[in-house]
């Protein structure tokens, strides 16, 4: 299946979120909060929100039909 630029952006954001949760789970270290000034900082909230929206958007990837190969 061909990925659109939006699909790729959503997957990148999901990977960022997954890596952040890995760090939280293993080391109790929130990288997003550390980079952007704390969990309650506006930019951190934007990043968390974008990761969440990307996760919701990516649900659609589960239900897409495979596009036939072009000749």
Q: Model confidence over 31-49: pLDDT tens digits?
A: 999 999 999 999 999 999 9
| DSSP label at residue 28 | -
| DSSP label at residue 38 | S
pLDDT band at 2 (very low <50, low <70, confident <90, very high): confident
**48 part of a folded domain:** yes
**68 part of a folded domain:** no
Domain with 13, as residue range(s), is: 5-62
**71 part of a folded domain:** no
Distance CA(53)–CA(60), nearest Å, equals 12
Q: pLDDT value at position 20?
A: 97
**pLDDT digits 0-9 by tens, 14-36:** 999 999 999 999 999 999 999 99
The number of folded domains in the chain is: 1
Maximum C-alpha span of the chain: 51
Read off the tokens for 36.
């952007």
Cβ atoms of 13 and 6 closer than 8 Å:
no
Sign of CA dihedral 18, 19, 21, 22: positive
């Amino acid at each position: 299946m061909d990925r659109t630029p939006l699909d790729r952006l959503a997957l990148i954001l999901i990977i960022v979120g997954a890596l952040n949760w890995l760090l939280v789970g293993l080391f109790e270290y929130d990288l997003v909060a550390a980079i952007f000034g704390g969990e309650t900082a506006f930019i951190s909230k934007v990043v968390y929100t974008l990761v969440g929206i990307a996760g919701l958007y990516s649900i659609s990837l589960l239900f897409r039909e495979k596009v036939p190969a072009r000749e």
